[in-house]
Chain A
Amino acid sequence: MIPKPLQPESTFPASFFGSAGRRRAKLVWLGLLLLLVNCSANVGGHTAGSGSAAAGSGSAGNGGVTGSGPTITPGMNGVLGTADIVNPPAKAISRLTNAQIIHSAAALLGNAAVVGAEALLPEQQLQGGFRNSGFAQELPLDLVKAFDDAAAFMVAHVTDWPSLYQRYAPCIVGTQVVTTAQQACMATFILNFGESAFRRPTTMQDVAAFQPVLDASIAAALTSDQTVQLLVQTFLQFPDFLYLFQDATLNDFQLASRLSYFVTDGPPDAVLYAAAKSGSLHSGLAMQVDRLLAMDMGAFARSFSYDYLELGVAPTRDSTTPPATVQAFVSSAADTFAALVNQNKPVSSIITTDTYVANPPTAAWINGQPSTATTVKATSTYPFVGLLTHPATLMAMSTTLLGSTVSRGQYVAYQLLCLPQTPAPPAGAQQTDLSSVLPANPTERDEAVARANDSRCKTCHAQFEAYSFGLNKWGGDGVFKTDPRLVDNGPIMTTLGTMAFAGYADFLQQLGNATQFERCLGDRLIRYGLQHTEYPPDLLKTILDQSNGAGGVTFRAMIRSLVLQTIFTTR
């Protein structure tokens, strides 16, 4: 895929307003993004303490709602400051994500059985939270139907039933018609397969739960093969398989599941399960997490990054790039994130890496010519720095092809820096006329600057919009632009202080090294790992301090620290 020709930043069809002309059209478009004065930060819920040496206390008790807003402490001397991170408390039983269902089924049935199954599971759109968080998971009818369809699909694609029988119930003779006499053998299968599927020991009560299948099989004179297939299809839809149950203090098996799905996006492996079964997991948690962290963490990284970078939004944004190409971009971004995690790079590398893991569409896009390179470096026509300039992320963060300063500023401010969100703009402000202060043929930045300088708009817009200026040369269509009007220098005034930078590379370097970026990422990781947003305000500081003490803030360090906190062993 050859990158598109560079486009001028803003054009408006003259016919939009008939004879009204270009300037009026721009005024209307500009007016859509204006806010009234007295916009104040929207606060609520409990706050995580700032953790910064320069910060005021501002921290709330565990789970309580503060009487005042989050504390924002601007930085000094061009260094971004910090802000308390506000999370409305939310907690609910979590269901396995689609990917986790597939990974779990693969562990039960073999990899061949699950190829193509994930396509049967519709992905729900997500606002806030992660896909693994119960409070953010919806359950439309077609998803429940899809659970059955996917279960049937996987059962139909098992390639080695004899091995399965050998593993769970060697007494099974597949071609034998099931009679009452074979029920004991089926019970063995249910107990053993069930233990793996449910991630806990099973009892005869679990066997009794499957009696309707056995009864129906006998009545229909089904073979053992057919009966086992029905049993497996049932297992894959059972609540004990699909949901992660948690007592107030997690028992060993629940802890094993929480740890495993967090770090590997899949069920406990044999070693972890054995530790749980022996009752030694709580005391041996450090050893287990160290063992898992030494393995490939790609599954965790892909799952986490997909939601953290909002990559799922990318295919909905750009209607001109072929959907398959956009999906390839998304895969490349997730794989790049995974590589950084596996290489144990500091978390800032997300924003500053000089290498993307590529697939052919992404490699061609970056290189400007067909390519099958598996990694790519920056080129003169695509001089990327970090994942914010990856085409997938550019598309995800931009509501316009040109690269909206509003949506991208909000993305950096809210998603990457966890700043308090501004309230919705009231209508009426859209009519504010700023045309007198705009240059001829203004860029998006010119309009954003006009808003930031206007007393009616700046109180809200100044809180987030300037964060987009460093990306001014990067289009929402995933293209680098050389239009000389596009300025990506600082300084910018933000609520976290003044930030001076010369171009996007400098901006991204500073962003990646900012304390608030680290803190925000830490908050997201905690929410992902705990699958809820309720955690004490000092937890974030503890995790970052321990990570720094271990040699630096990396995913492995933060995950290890979180897992070994008491809160990880409680609901």
Chain B
Amino acid sequence: MKYRHVLDRRTMLKAGGIAIGLPFLDCMLEKSAFGAPADPPASIVSLMNGLGTPTILVARGNTGPLGAYKPLIDANKLSLYTNTSIEAAGGGANGQHHYGQPYLFAGYPTTIAGGLNAIPGGPTLHYVVMKQQYPAGVPTPFKIIDVGIGFRRGKNWMYKRIWNDQKQNAADFEDLASPLDMFDKIFGTMMAATPMMQADPKARAAKSILDCLIPAYQKFTGAGSNLPPGDITILQNHLDRIRQLEQQVYGMPTLPGKVAPPMRPNPPNLKYMVNGGACGDVANWYVVSPADFSTAYQIMADLLIAGLEMDYFRFGNLCFDYPGGQTMFTGPLPSPDDPNYMIKANPHANYHAWNPADANVVKIATQHNFFVHKNIAQVLTKMGSTNFLGPNGKTLLDNALIMLGSEVGTNHDLTSTIHGFAGGNGKLKMGVNSNAPMLATEMYNAIGKTLYGLPKVGDTTIGYKSDATSILA
């Protein structure tokens, strides 16, 4: 619903009824016909991409792959920080995906367990803000939706990207990697309630199951519980999930105007859940055309945006190819550099062979990065659509905190990753394209403190080395 610009009658009288030409007055702030619009509810969405972007491509500026973001930056809808270090993740400057991914948007050093699986050092910002802003539980059917398209899942950090304070997956669903699975779980089979249910006494009786379960779990999580704190946390998580289900089934959110529920998509017929093997296992790298990959990704983006608009969830992540993905892109991959390029390469393996003096290696990385950032920019543009406006008359792109990032920079390096920010309801500086060295954890802290009043984000014991408050408006 859009709100009219109004001035109340008293203000009009004070001004003598003359509004034209007057300087801007506080009383001219947008007001709804029903009262002052509240700040939009806290919402964080990240757009991750696996495998990073080499610094030589960053250095090309707007003629390179990052030029995809120029319209958004010029329109003061996005800021990019292209020299952001996540080295504190561990593993040194070249810590690679397994250290970098759990650190991304979290800021806690990673511990590596058996089989190169990661034990995150702490929760991701989405989870921290969700718990802090919604202490009674986020009032949406889903809490955190983490989706992505990628063809490797041999390590936990490939398909688990948002972490909770128990070092476990914070997302509502694990490894949501297929557009159809995503649709079914968010818009389809999970949503079982119908208005008819409320009128049916037998169906209403079924709700009594939840009326029993909730106090049963509360008995163990409440003040009188004598369980150890860790056990209470586990049972509290279970209780939170039950409440989520209750809300889904019996508390359907009201769809804002102009938001139509999405239709079940018809995505490319890919093996979305395949494990594309190890770095040297060429036979198992999953072969997919860039066109199919992009189509599937954009479908998931559309579903993510629909879910946000419908207020089905307020915290989410969309991942373009997985950290450490093993995708054998095969087919046309045009770019401004080479509109006729045909790719047959695994970008991850290409990074392992990284040599800036090797023209072919650089070519593959360049074409791939044009592809990556074009797709992500497209999602940001969709989020900025004025077809959907919040109660304050602003778009998703304005109101949510949108974060861009990858788990590595050049060839598994952690010292120069790209971070981007949009939205934040006006509290972040927009229109910036900076290559100044920054520490990611300090950016996360600047955001956490200023936008949410968090005392700290991530591990601040390493000491501050840069001034990330410059990202703030």
User: Residues of A at under 8 Å CB distance from B?
Assistant: 12-13, 15-18, 20, 28-33, 42, 91-93, 95, 122, 124-125, 127-128, 134, 137-142, 144-145, 148, 209-213, 215-217, 219-222, 226, 230, 233-234, 237-240, 242-243, 245, 316-317, 319, 399-402, 404, 407, 410, 414, 421, 423-424, 426-428, 430
**In whole angstroms, how far apart are the Cα atoms of A532 and B71 in the complex?**
54
Beta-carbon contact of A234 and B212 below 8 Å: yes
29 residue pairs A–B, Cβ–Cβ below 8 Å: A15-B344, A17-B360, A18-B360, A29-B279, A29-B280, A93-B227, A95-B234, A125-B175, A138-B168, A141-B172, A141-B245, A142-B190, A148-B245, A221-B201, A226-B205, A234-B212, A238-B212, A239-B216, A239-B235, A240-B216, A245-B227, A316-B153, A316-B154, A401-B284, A404-B281, A423-B112, A424-B91, A426-B95, A426-B96
A215–B99 alpha-carbon span in the complex (Å): 54
Q: Are A220 and B205 in contact (CB under 8 A)?
A: yes
Contact for A426 among B91, B173, B274, CB less than 8 A = B91
Out of B173, B201, B412, name the residue touching A220 (CB < 8 Å).
B201
Q: Does B43 contact A (CB under 8 A)?
A: no
How many residues on B have C-beta within 8 angstroms of the other chain's C-beta atoms?
74
In whole angstroms, what is the CA distance A427 to B96 when docked? 7
Task: Indicate which residue in B169, B274, B411 contacts A138 across the interface (CB closer than 8 Å).
Answer: B169
Query: Using Cβ atoms and an 8 Å threshold, which residues of chain A touch B235?
Result: 93, 239, 243
Nearest A-chain residue to B153, judged by Cβ: A316
> Within residues 355 to 403 of chain B, which ones have a CB less than 8 A from any CB in chain A?
360
Report the nearest A residue to B169, measured CB to CB: A138
Query: Of all chain A residues, which has the CB nearest B273?
Result: A316
B156 CB within 8 Å of chain A = yes
B281's partner among A95, A239, A316, A401 (CB-CB below 8 A) is: A401
Q: Which of A12, A31, A238, A399 contacts B277 (CB 8 A)?
A: A399
Contact A125 B238, CB 8 Å, known A238-B213, A400-B280, A424-B99: no
- B413 nearest CB neighbor, chain A only: A427
Question: Contact at B349–A28, with CB atoms within 8 Å?
Answer: yes
A239 and B190 CA atoms in complex are apart in Å by 22
Check A216 against B205 for contact (C-beta < 8 Å). yes
Residues of chain A lying within 8 A (CB to CB) of residue B116? 424
Report the separation of the CA atoms of residues A440 and B271 in the bound assembly, to the nearest whole angstrom.
Answer: 36
Q: What distance in Å separates the Cβ of B121 from its nearest Cβ neighbour in chain A?
A: 14
Please state if B284 and A400 are interface contacts (CB–CB under 8 Å).
yes
CB-CB under 8 A from A424, the residues of chain B are: 91, 96, 98-99, 112, 116
Q: State how many angstroms separate the Cβ of A41 from the closest Cβ of chain B.
A: 13
Q: Is the CB of A127 within 8 A of B242?
A: no
Most B CB within 10 A of own CB, among A15, A317, A410: A317
Question: Among B185, B215, B277, which residue has its beta carbon within 8 angstroms of that of A400?
Answer: B277
A29, A124, A127, A220: the one contacting B202 at CB < 8 Å is A220
Counting from the closest, the 6 A-B pairs by CB-CB distance are A427-B94, A220-B201, A212-B211, A216-B208, A427-B412, A141-B172
Do A125 and B353 touch across chains, with their CB atoms under 8 A apart?
Answer: no
Within 8 Å CB of B190, what residues of A? Answer: 141-142, 145
Q: How far is the CB of B211 from chain A (nearest CB, A)?
A: 4
For B154, the chain A residues whose CB sits under 8 A away are 316, 399
Closest-CB distance, B412 to chain A (whole angstroms): 4
- Cβ-based interface call for B27 (8 A): no
B345: chain A residues at CB < 8 Å are 16
What chain B residues lie within 8 Å of A211 (beta carbons)?
A: 212
Q: B166-179 vs A: 1/0 string, CB under 8 Å?
A: 00110111110000
- The reply to whether B117 and A127 form a contact with Cβ atoms under 8 Å apart is yes
B234-278 to A contact mask, C-beta < 8 Å, 1/0: 110110011011000000000000000000000000010011011
Q: Is the CB of B238 within 8 A of A144?
A: yes
Kindly list chain B residues whose C-beta atoms are within 8 Å of the C-beta of A233: 209
Residues of B within 8 A of A122 (CB): 174
Nearest Cβ distance between residue B331 and chain A, in whole angstroms? Answer: 14
List, in ascending order, chain B residues with CB within 8 A of A91's CB: 230
- Say yes or no: A216-B207 contact (C-beta < 8 A), given A29-B282, A144-B245, A226-B202: yes
Is B114 in contact with chain A by the CB < 8 A criterion? yes
Among residues of B, the one whose C-beta sits closest to the C-beta of A219 is B201
Query: Shortest beta-carbon distance, B290 to chain A, in Å?
Result: 17
State the Cβ distance, A22 to closest chain B Cβ, in Å: 12
> Does B222 lie at the interface of the complex (its beta carbon under 8 Å from any beta carbon of A)?
no
Cα-based distance from A213 to B205 in the complex (angstroms): 7
Residues of chain B within 8 A of A240, CB atoms compared: 216
Inter-chain contact A140/B171, CB cutoff 8 Å: yes
CB nearest neighbor in A for B280: A29
Tell me if B283 counts as interface (CB < 8 A to partner A): yes
* Contact A238 to B216, CB < 8 A, known contacts A216-B204, A400-B278, A427-B94: yes
- Inter-chain CA distance A243–B238, complex, in Å, is 11
Contacts of B237 in A (CB 8 A): 139
Q: Interface centre among A226, A240, A243, by most B CB within 10 Å?
A: A243
* Complex contacts, A414 vs chain B, CB 8 Å: 114-115
Beyond A134-B234, A424-B112, 6 additional contacts (C-beta under 8 Å) are A16-B282, A33-B279, A144-B244, A216-B208, A220-B205, A230-B206
**In the complex, A142 Cα to B241 Cα: how many Å?**
9
